[in-house]
């Protein structure tokens, strides 16, 4: 097996893992086998191709020498900084090793901290990598189809909640994989009417459409938890850092589930996040570039008469029913890695916005395959 084909196998496996199909088995790659040298374009993980920012890299380098110490102080300072940034108090912030950890904590908290059975109401399609963990805890899912505009259907959520006594609502806003969002005000109205014990609003992508966070609302309503991440526009997916914003009592309950509150974030990661947060110029730049990349893709989809869902994020879901053969395999043959999705009774592809140059290549490859 050549290096290239072993890498493809590895990427296929990880793509399967991303789709929640199976866990990625280890495929061995050496430093020399780096994908960049091979021109591989990763459009499969909704990562930020430009990150981390220069400021974040510098901060990481400078902090490495302190890695022998537990990160308490660095993380404490970061919490204060995040509180100010979000216009809340430090007591409203809980750090996690990615918003993935925050989601896990909310799953445990909503279940009473241990392993209990209950319902989680969420949408279909939506972000679902946490489902495995929820199943291990003992939850069942009520998955409400998106509405015609491919948005979360809050009216249906309302009508279904009387049939199922859900312990938790999970709302991904903007939604992954559709890139659509519900107006924050509409969400607040829905939550005011809802009876669920907990509402988790996953705001991984809010910085792309630049819509208001539910942070201010969450700190007043104890059942609401907002999950934020540095994995997307801040370009730090591999550094593993996210946080919760909630009422201080809710934060206390979530913190009590962690081995040590706020302690799963590495020293270098805390430094990187702190620097990244200050570098809002980088954020703005990435937002604009994602917008340009989306427009480039839309033009391409229109030319090819491919249906797509207008997105407000760094990814787009487009329909590939018309394209013959194994789409992901055909893209991989051209060194491009995307996610295949079965949604709305058809075949779709979720493509992450890479750099402008990467998207030019993506569009020309797509034209050669679908044209």
Partner 1 sequence: MMGETNRYPFNVPSLQSAKKTLGDYYKVGEDQVLITAGSGEGLAMLARHFNKGNIVTADITFGVLPNTAKKIGSKVIEVPLTKEKMHDLPAMMKAINNETQLVYICNPANPTATILKADELKRFCEGASKKTVVLIDEAYNEFLDNPDSQSMIGLIEKNPNILVIKTFSKIHAMAGLRIGFLIGHPTLIKKLQPDYFQSSQLAVSVLSLNAAMASLNDEPHKLMSKQKNEAARKYTMDEMKKAGIQFIPSYTNFIFYPVKSYPGEYSADIFEKHKIIMRSNKYGDGQWARVSVGTIDEMKQFIKVIGDPKNNMAAR
Near partner 1 in 118-157, by CB under 8 A: 129-130, 132-133, 135-136
What contacts 97, CB < 8 A, 6 or more positions away? 240, 241, 242, 264, 265, 266
Asked if residue 2 binds partner 1 (CB under 8 A), the reply is: no
Q: Which of 271, 273, 272, 318 is nearest to 298 (CA)?
A: 318
Helix (H) or strand (E) holding 71: none
Residue 239 Cβ vs partner 1, minimum distance, rounded to whole Å: 5
| Residue found by looking up tokens 């480039």 in the block | 296
C-alpha to C-alpha distance for 296 and 251, rounded to whole angstroms: 42
Asked if residue 39 binds partner 1 (CB under 8 A), the reply is: no
Asked if residue 18 binds partner 1 (CB under 8 A), the reply is: yes
Task: Report the residue number, 7 or 294, with the smaller CB distance to partner 1.
Answer: 7
Asked if residue 314 binds partner 1 (CB under 8 A), the reply is: no
300, two tokens = 């391409």
Residue 20 Cβ vs partner 1, minimum distance, rounded to whole Å: 8
| CA pseudo-torsion sign 301, 230, 180, 160 | positive
Task: Report the residue number, 7 or 247, with the smaller CB distance to partner 1.
Answer: 7
C-alpha to C-alpha distance for 36 and 52, rounded to whole angstroms: 16
x/- map, 224-253, partner 1, by CB under 8 A: -------x---xxxxxxx------------
Asked if residue 26 binds partner 1 (CB under 8 A), the reply is: yes
Q: Which residues pair with 41 in a beta bridge?
A: 336
Among the candidate windows 27-35, 294-302, 313-321, 356-364, which touches partner 1 by CB under 8 A? 27-35
Window 59-78: residues binding partner 1 (CB under 8 A) = 60-61, 64, 66-71, 74
Out of 9, 12, 27, 160, the residue judged to bind partner 1 by CB under 8 A: 27
Asked if residue 19 binds partner 1 (CB under 8 A), the reply is: no
Among the candidate windows 38-46, 220-228, 290-298, 355-363, which touches partner 1 by CB under 8 A? 38-46
Q: Are 295 and 353 in contact (CB under 8 A)?
A: no
What contacts 171, CB < 8 A, 6 or more positions away? 122, 123, 152, 182, 187, 199, 200, 201, 202
Task: Report the residue number, 182 or 283, with the smaller CB distance to partner 1.
Answer: 283
Asked if residue 177 binds partner 1 (CB under 8 A), the reply is: no
| C-alpha count within 13 angstroms, C-beta hemisphere, residue 316 | 26
3-state class of 349 per DSSP?
strand
Asked if residue 114 binds partner 1 (CB under 8 A), the reply is: yes
Task: Report the residue number, 47 or 153, with the smaller CB distance to partner 1.
Answer: 47
Residue 12 Cβ vs partner 1, minimum distance, rounded to whole Å: 12
What angle, 0 to 180 degrees and rounded to 10, lies between the N-to-C axes of helices 72-86 and 267-278?
20
Among the candidate windows 54-62, 82-90, 201-209, 322-330, which touches partner 1 by CB under 8 A? 54-62
Asked if residue 47 binds partner 1 (CB under 8 A), the reply is: yes
């Amino acid at each position: 097996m050549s290096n290239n084909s072993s890498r493809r196998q590895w990427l296929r496996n990880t793509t399967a893992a991303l789709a929640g199909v199976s866990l990625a088995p280890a495929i061995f790659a050496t430093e020399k086998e780096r994908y960049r040298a091979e021109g591989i374009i990763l459009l499969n993980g909704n990562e930020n191709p430009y990150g981390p920012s220069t400021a974040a890299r510098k901060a990481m380098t400078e902090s490495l020498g302190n890695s022998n110490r537990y990160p308490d102080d660095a993380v404490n300072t970061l919490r204060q900084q995040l509180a100010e940034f979000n216009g809340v108090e430090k007591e409203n912030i809980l750090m996690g090793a990615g918003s993935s950890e925050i989601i896990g904590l909310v799953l445990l908290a909503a279940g009473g901290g241990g392993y209990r059975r209950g319902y989680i109401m969420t949408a279909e399609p939506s972000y679902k990598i946490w489902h495995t963990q929820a199943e291990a805890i003992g939850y069942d899912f009520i998955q409400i189809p998106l509405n015609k505009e491919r948005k979360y259907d809050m009216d249906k959520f309302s009508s279904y909640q009387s049939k199922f006594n859900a312990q938790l609502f999970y709302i991904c806003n903007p939604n992954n994989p559709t890139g659509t969002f519900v107006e924050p005000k509409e969400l607040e109205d829905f939550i005011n009417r809802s009876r669920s014990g907990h509402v988790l609003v996953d705001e991984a992508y809010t910085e792309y459409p630049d819509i208001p966070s539910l942070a201010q609302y969450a700190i007043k309503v104890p059942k609401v938890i907002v999950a934020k991440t540095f994995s997307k526009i801040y370009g730090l997916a591999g550094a593993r850092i996210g946080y919760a914003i909630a009422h201080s009592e809710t934060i206390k309950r979530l913190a009590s589930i962690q081995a040590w509150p706020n302690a799963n974030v590495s020293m270098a990661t805390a430094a990187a996040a702190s620097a990244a947060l200050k570098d809002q110029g980088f954020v703005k730049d990435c937002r604009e570039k994602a917008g340009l990349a989306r427009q480039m893709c839309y033009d391409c989809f229109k030319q090819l008469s491919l249906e797509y869902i207008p997105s407000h994020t760094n990814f787009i879901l487009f329909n590939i029913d018309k394209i013959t053969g194994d789409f992901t395999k055909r893209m991989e043959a051209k060194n491009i890695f995307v996610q295949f999705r079965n949604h709305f009774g058809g075949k779709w592809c979720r493509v992450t916005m890479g750099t402008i140059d990467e998207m030019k290549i993506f569009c020309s490859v797509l034209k050669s395959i679908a044209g």
